[in-house]
Amino acid sequence: MCLISDYLGRKGYTVLEIIDQSVHRTIYKARHNKTGAIVVIKVLPNSNNSHRRNVYDHAHEIQIMKMLDHPLTVDFYDAFSDDERTYIVMEYLPRGSLFEYILQNGKLSEQISNNIFTQLISAIDYLHNELHIVHRDIKAENVLLDQNFNVRLIDFGLAGRISKIFPKLDFSCGSIGYMAPEIFSGHGYDEQVDIWSTGVLLFALLTGYLPFSGQNSSDIKHNILHQNIEFPDYLSKDAKNLLSKMLERNPTKRISIQGIKQHSWFSFNQYNAISDFTHRIGHINSIILKPDQLILADIEALGIKTENLGTSLFMKDCTEATTAFKIIRRQRIDSEMLY
């Protein structure tokens, strides 16, 4: 850890602690020294038996994250690499994951679940219909909570893009308990897999457990493909109806994002409030046409030059100025974002 801490120190970050660690990555809590903001640094190894594949995967994840510009998807701040590792810097979410929250609190009320679900649908709608990105790993562990209990969708390492030319994905991936039936078919799939996974997550929010379980992956896969879903009696009729439409095994019959927004259980007023707020804060590239003088002044007060900031943001370059801009912009968004 000392070598990594020293390296990150030279990059302008002070490591505070390890948040999580596995064979595939280490997550650090750190401080961005110029702004004083607390950030997360995801450290990914470059070198193992599949070095080229690892480096490609890391570059793909960074490319996807650079595209994101929605208040309910995790903010990307910076990325860099050395011979051994790739480093991805992003915003820190202090209240942990939905998985941890459910473990501590059990099932959530329909009102709280509805609030979380509506925010998630806003983020997923943005991914599908503006960026044409399929997340492919929506689960409770990949939804974090900020200080105001607003959500952030994180971990785009498995995300894929679809288009009119390539409307299907075919790589089998995801977390087994959340995987849609069509992923197992080998015939390709589209963004409807995210609707299924979000349905599984909504079920977990409302009940405190997953709809499909088993002793091993084979059992879980069998239950996803064949098991009848039993809804607890305490769920409202509307909640059961929406869940049954999201957990429809046939993806062509499964409810769409548009269908979810029109469903009686969905909070369309809250969804509109999120959309209005997103429109009001504007796209990050809007600084080129209408610079935010307050943010620019804050950056310059840190001793960072802003002359080429607009171009760097448009080109999605990682510079000292773009990192400071994104951090300060996120602080501004958080102070105003109350749904």
Domains of the chain: 1-91 (3.30.200.20), 96-276 (1.10.510.10), 285-322 (no CATH)
Q: Which of 324, 332, 331 is nearest to 300 (CA)?
A: 324
Residue-averaged pLDDT of the chain: 93
* Interatomic CA distance for residues 228 and 170, integer angstroms: 26
pTM more than 0.85: yes
Instruction: Indicate the SS3 state at residue 155.
Output: coil
- How many C-beta atoms lie closer than 10 Å to residue 231's C-beta? 17
**Residues of the binding site for ATP:** 42, 141-142, 155
Predicted confidence band at 186 (pLDDT cuts at 50, 70, 90)? confident
Whether 325 shows a pLDDT value over 60: the answer reads: yes
- Give the list of residues 6+ apart from residue 24 with CB closer than 8 angstroms, or none: 44, 45
Per-residue pLDDT tens over the stretch 53-67: 455 688 999 999 999
- From the list 137, 146, 194, 298, the catalytic residue is 137
Task: Average the pLDDT over 222-251 and give the result.
Answer: 97
**Residues of the binding site:** 42, 141-142, 155
CA angle 314, 90, 301 (to 5 degrees): 65
* Locus of tokens 């390492």: 157
Q: Are 142 and 173 in contact (CB under 8 A)?
A: no
Tell me whether residue 6 is one of the annotated catalytic residues. no
Per-residue pLDDT tens over the stretch 200-217: 999 999 999 999 999 999
Among 1-15, 28-42, 259-273, 312-326, the least confident range: 1-15
Predicted confidence band at 260 (pLDDT cuts at 50, 70, 90)? very high
- Helix (H) / strand (E) containing 143: strand 143-145
Task: Average the pLDDT over 283-299 and give the result.
Answer: 84
Q: How far apart are the first and last CA of the chain?
A: 39
Structure confidence at residue 54 (pLDDT): 59
